[in-house]
């Protein structure tokens, strides 16, 4: 695109990742079974005569047809060699794939999940168990791939719920782990390592406190400690530091300068995301993405900066929180947007957003341009979900935390707050100890020392750990309010993919610059779904789409360069719960999109199919496994050559088929969530919520929660700006109150 800078010669610094744990997590036999299942999903595809029983056998014609389809998209001189290598690649032979699974099991999968998997792998290796689960006494890994494929597919509709759950979880795990470890996929897809557009730039330079390894506890005193450096915590840090309070921000993950961005997805998911970007709800119905790095979600999010809509403000105000319809809230919304340079004047829509805008226009759907927090400048990137190399996204690290640093705030990375203790019962002000686990100097993620006891004494403790972690920290600290962890909202999304004849390169340009709001209020109470586009880096996008067999799936993935993406993002009326794993205390999420919310999601998904159709797409795929893709036939016009548009009979037949899936079988739908909200909800009484209208935890003094977990319900719009505005207001009020307290404690203190 003319006028835009090129980034092509830029090579990011390599970020280290924690080394692969060497402890035996699965036995050799369990590995053999697991990898045989992985190869069933991502098999080596060979022609009959050359194939071994462990490979997916196809005819000469099928193979050559696949090679030529693939080669047509591959723009290198040896395109057919690349296509063959891609077809022949299998999951089990990739070192990165095995290492990736080992890391997941060691670090990210909860104990119950790992045990459940091991048990099933063991059962498959007994004669009776194999018979029960595969219909044969032969262990599944000794079956030819063709049989394994049938077995694995059948598990998807097994009458045993744990088998269906394993099927879904393994599919998610295998697809994503393959996509981050495959050398062949990015070449077959043609996706470059760094964005084509943009200019690398240095971000703000940070310093973090360091401590020599020691067994002695370290004690730090401060006015305010903020736990978590994400969107809510960062705004709070700025306001309190600028008001002259001593502020310490601690973050369990690490800071990376922009020279490391965008990270390769294999490293970025591990270094920048909670649970390596692999967290799932207990029923594996929703994949959960949340940032965990310096700047939290603000470092990896998509720059969409929408203000809270009127119907949500009113709902929250009507629940006893009049702040949300006050002018103060609007002032805070505007103030946070100003600081980040939020505007839509500089947007250049990429092809996927053009398709949405123009397709929606042709259908008469209401749309909106989505303002970006990119400092009143253009930002044609698409990779920022792995960190912004141009430092062009003005997230927490380039705005709030930088301002806080300039105002004297101090920072620690690699610190996980373990628990909050109270000086007196219910009284957290003054002598509060906050034991933290320090994992040692950051940047490279090398965990040098484990400093087990660091005590922070603060007058005010602000919990800003995000919706998944904040309730767990409160529970670890002994709080017992029934609401803690409940009221979890996820904005569940289903995905769509339109495939066009022409090349789209959907990874170029900002991911999310427009939305369709026609379906956002389907029940008259503000519940519904929006259509947006999404980031299309392969492991962030492709794993949600159905696997039918290894060849079909590989061909689908390789067409990414011709796709435009859609998400139907649902303002969920119903909710779930975050709770600690009973064995190891890590995050567990109980949430199943309700029939009501699935219906909203389906409406927007149908709308996105229509948008794709009127835009001339050749195929339309959804992340609903029980629905075949739509294929446009050659003569798509009606009688007398009249263009019937969406009235086309074949298309209508497909839409009706999809509509009949209502309310969608949750086990066939693969949802994702990048928006977690509500687990420490704000309410006018302790019976209804966790924090009071000032964000102070009910029943305590000096303990606050400021992050998206305090939303009374789902925000409807992407939550960052709403969260920051609440933080802006709450921290300003807190600062005033702290000044008053100082005056009372020490009448000579000056304002
Ligand atoms: C991929 C993706 C894209 C998104 N795109 C957008 C978008 O375009 N627009 C939008 O409005 N929203 C977007 N969001 C959502 C938005 O980023 C989040 O809603 C927001 O970041 C939540 O802010 P928070 O204050 O709740 O906490 P977070 O930003 O999640 O930060 C919490 C921080 O606390 C740290 N932490 C947790 N526990 C502890 C502990 N015990 N001790 C110390 N530190 C701890 C975590 O490591 C994390 O860094 C996106 C989210 C994702 C994941
Ligand atoms: C897996 O791929 C590797 C490398 O291409 C190959 O050597 C091996 O034979 C394949 N294994 C199977 C079972 O296809
Ligand atoms: C990609 O989709 C187009 C349009 O349907 C199709 O013609 C092409 O063969 C597909 N390519 C691959 C690799 O499947
Ligand atoms: C294709 O060509 C490139 C550049 O010469 C080479 O590095 C690569 O190995 C080749 N790929 C295959 C699969 O032959
Ligand atoms: C700020 O906090 C005080 C004291 O906690 C409270 O009384 C007041 O209502 C809050 N301010 C606003 C504008 O709500």
- Ligand 3, closest atom to CA 73? 13
Q: What pLDDT is recorded for position 637?
A: 61
675 is catalytic: yes
Q: What is the CATH number of the domain that holds 400?
A: 3.50.50.60
262 inside domain: yes
Q: What pLDDT is recorded for position 436?
A: 55
The answer, yes or no, to whether any atom of ligand 4 lies below 6 A from the CB of 75, is: no
Q: What pLDDT is recorded for position 431?
A: 39
143 inside domain: no
Closest ligand by atom to 55 CA: 2
Taking the C-alpha atoms of residue 300 and residue 537, their distance in angstroms, rounded to an integer, is 13
Q: What pLDDT is recorded for position 9?
A: 85
Please tell me the distance between residue 734's alpha carbon and the centre of ligand 5 in angstroms. 8
Of 32, 21, 15, 7, which is closest to residue 121 (Cα–Cα)?
32
Angle CA(665)–CA(666)–CA(668) in degrees, nearest 5? 70
pLDDT along the chain (751 residues), means of 10: 63 91 94 98 93 93 97 95 98 97 92 92 97 96 97 96 95 97 97 93 94 78 95 98 97 96 96 95 96 98 98 98 98 98 96 98 98 94 95 97 98 90 57 51 41 80 97 95 98 98 96 97 97 97 97 98 98 98 94 98 98 98 97 75 91 98 95 98 98 96 96 98 98 96 71 40
Closest ligand by atom to 66 CA: 3
423 inside domain: yes
Best mutation site among 691, 694, 704 for ligand 5 pocket (most ligand atoms within 8 Å of CB) = 694
User: Could you read off the pLDDT of 174-196 as tens digits, one per residue?
Assistant: 999 999 999 999 999 999 999 99
126 inside domain: no
Please tell me the distance between residue 19's alpha carbon and the centre of ligand 1 in angstroms. 25
Helix/strand/coil percent split, the chain, to 5 = 40, 15, 45
Taking the C-alpha atoms of residue 497 and residue 519, their distance in angstroms, rounded to an integer, is 19
Taking the C-alpha atoms of residue 230 and residue 240, their distance in angstroms, rounded to an integer, is 15
Count structural domains, the chain: 1
Record the tokens describing residue 648, joined without a space. Answer: 């086309």
Q: What's the full length of the chain, in residues?
A: 751
Q: How many CB atoms lie within 10 A of CB 45?
A: 26
* Residues spanned by the domain of 704: 218-343+384-489+679-742
Please tell me the distance between residue 299's alpha carbon and the centre of ligand 1 in angstroms. 8
Q: What pLDDT is recorded for position 455?
A: 84
Within 297-357, strands assigned E span 342-343
Torsion angle, CA of 81/82/85/87, rounded to 10 degrees? -110
Contact residues of ligand 1, CB 6 A cut-off: 227-233, 250-253, 289-293, 296-298, 300-304, 385, 415-417, 464-467, 469, 473, 512, 674-675, 707-708, 718-721, 723
Please tell me the distance between residue 480's alpha carbon and the centre of ligand 1 in angstroms. 25
Phi, psi of 595 (to 5 degrees): -60, -40
Taking the C-alpha atoms of residue 362 and residue 610, their distance in angstroms, rounded to an integer, is 10
- Protein residue with its CA nearest to atom 13 in ligand 2: 54
Best mutation site among 71, 74, 76 for ligand 4 pocket (most ligand atoms within 8 Å of CB) = 76
428 inside domain: yes
Residue 739 parent element (H or E): helix 720-745
- Protein residue with its CA nearest to atom 3 in ligand 3: 501
Contact residues of ligand 2, CB 6 A cut-off: 39, 44, 54-55, 88, 90, 93
Closest ligand by atom to 738 CA: 5
Q: pTM score, two decimals?
A: 0.95
- Ligand 4, closest atom to CA 82? 13
Sign of CA dihedral 5, 261, 464, 461: negative
| DSSP secondary structure code for residue 386 in this structure | G
Record the tokens describing residue 579, joined without a space. Answer: 């709770």
318 inside domain: yes
375 inside domain: no
- Protein residue with its CA nearest to atom 3 in ligand 4: 78
Annotated catalytic residue, options 255, 349, 489, 675: 675
484 inside domain: yes
């Amino acid at each position: 695109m003319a006028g835009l800078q090129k980034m092509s010669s830029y090579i990011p610094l390599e970020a280290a990742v924690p080394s692969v744990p060497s402890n035996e997590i699965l036995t050799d036999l369990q590995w053999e079974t697991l990898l045989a299942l992985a190869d069933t999903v991502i098999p080596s595809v060979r022609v009959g005569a050359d194939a071994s029983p462990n490979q997916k056998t196809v005819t000469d014609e099928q193979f050559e047809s696949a090679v030529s389809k693939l080669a047509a998209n591959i723009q290198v001189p040896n395109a057919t060699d690349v296509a063959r290598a891609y077809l022949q690649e299998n999951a089990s032979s990739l070192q990165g794939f095995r290492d990736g699974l080992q890391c997941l099991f060691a670090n990210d999968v909860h104990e119950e999940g790992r045990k459940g998997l091991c048990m099933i792998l063991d059962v498959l290796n007994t004669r009776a168990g194999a018979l029960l689960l595969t219909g044969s006494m032969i262990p599944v890994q000794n079956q030819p791939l063709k049989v394994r494929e049938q077995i694995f597919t059948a598990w998807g509709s097994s009458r045993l719920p744990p088998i269906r759950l394993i099927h879904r979880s393994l599919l998610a795990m295998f697809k994503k782990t393959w996509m981050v470890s495959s050398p062949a996929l990015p070449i077959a897809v043609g996706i470059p390592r760094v964005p084509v557009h943009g200019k690398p730039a240095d971000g703000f330079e940070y310093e973090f406190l360091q401590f020599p390894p020691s067994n002695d506890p370290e004690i730090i005193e401060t006015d305010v400690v903020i736990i978590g450096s994400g969107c809510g915590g960062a705004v709070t840090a700025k306001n309190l530091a600028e008001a002259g309070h001593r502020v310490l921000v601690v973050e369990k993950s690490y800071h990376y300068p922009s020279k490391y961005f965008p990270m390769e997805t294999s490293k970025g998911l591990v270094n920048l995301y909670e649970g390596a970007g692999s967290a799932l709800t207990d029923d594996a119905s929703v994949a959960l993405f949340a940032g965990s790095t310096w700047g939290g979600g603000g470092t990896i999010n998509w720059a969409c900066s929408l203000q809270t809509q009127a119907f949500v403000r009113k709902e929250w105000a009507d629940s006893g929180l009049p702040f949300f319809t006050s002018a103060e809230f609007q002032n805070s919304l505007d103030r946070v947007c100003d600081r980040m340079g939020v505007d839509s004047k500089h947007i250049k829509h990429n092809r996927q957003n053009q398709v949405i805008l123009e397709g929606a226009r042709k259908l008469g759907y209401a749309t909106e341009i989505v303002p970006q927090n990119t400092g009143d400048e253009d930002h044609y990137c698409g990779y920022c979900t792995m960190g912004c190399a141009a430092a062009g996204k003005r997230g927490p690290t380039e705005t709030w935390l930088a301002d806080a640093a300039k105002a004297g705030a101090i920072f620690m990375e690699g610190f996980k707050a373990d628990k909050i203790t109270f000086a007196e019962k219910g009284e957290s002000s003054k002598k509060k100890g906050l034991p933290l686990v320090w994992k040692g100097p950051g940047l490279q993620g090398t965990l040098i020392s484990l400093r087990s006891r660091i005590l922070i004494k603060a007058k005010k403790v602000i919990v800003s750990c995000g919706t998944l972690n904040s309730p767990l920290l409160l529970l670890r600290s002994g709080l017992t309010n029934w609401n803690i962890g409940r009221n979890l909202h996820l904005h569940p999304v289903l995905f769509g993919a339109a495939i066009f004849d022409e090349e789209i390169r959907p990874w170029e340009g900002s991911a999310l610059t427009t939305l369709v709001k026609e379906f956002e209020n389907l029940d008259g109470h503000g519940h519904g779904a929006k259509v947006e586009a999404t980031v299309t880096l392969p492991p962030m996008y492709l794993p949600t789409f159905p696997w039918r067999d290894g060849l079909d799936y590989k061909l689908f993935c390789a067409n990414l360069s011709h796709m435009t993406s859609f998400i139907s993002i649902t303002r969920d009326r119903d909710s779930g719960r975050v709770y600690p794993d009973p064995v190891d205390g890590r995050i567990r999420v109980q949430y199943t999109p309700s029939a009501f919310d699935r219906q909203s999601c389906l409406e927007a998904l149908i709308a996105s199919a229509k948008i794709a159709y009127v835009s001339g797409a050749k195929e339309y795929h959804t992340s609903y496994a029980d629905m075949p893709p739509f294929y446009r036939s050659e003569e798509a016009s009606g009688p007398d050559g009249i263009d019937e548009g969406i009235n086309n009979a074949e298309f209508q037949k497909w839409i009706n088929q999809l509509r009949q899936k209502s309310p969608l079988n949750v086990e066939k739908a693969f949802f994702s969530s990048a928006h977690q909200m509500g687990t420490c909800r704000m309410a006018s009484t302790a019976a209804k919520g966790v924090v009071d209208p000032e964000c102070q935890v009910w029943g305590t003094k000096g303990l606050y929660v400021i992050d998206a977990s305090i939303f009374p319900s789902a925000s409807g719009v992407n939550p960052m700006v709403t969260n920051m505005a609440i933080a802006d207001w709450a921290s300003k009020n807190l600062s005033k109150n702290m000044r008053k307290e100082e005056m009372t404690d020490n009448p000579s203190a000056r304002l």
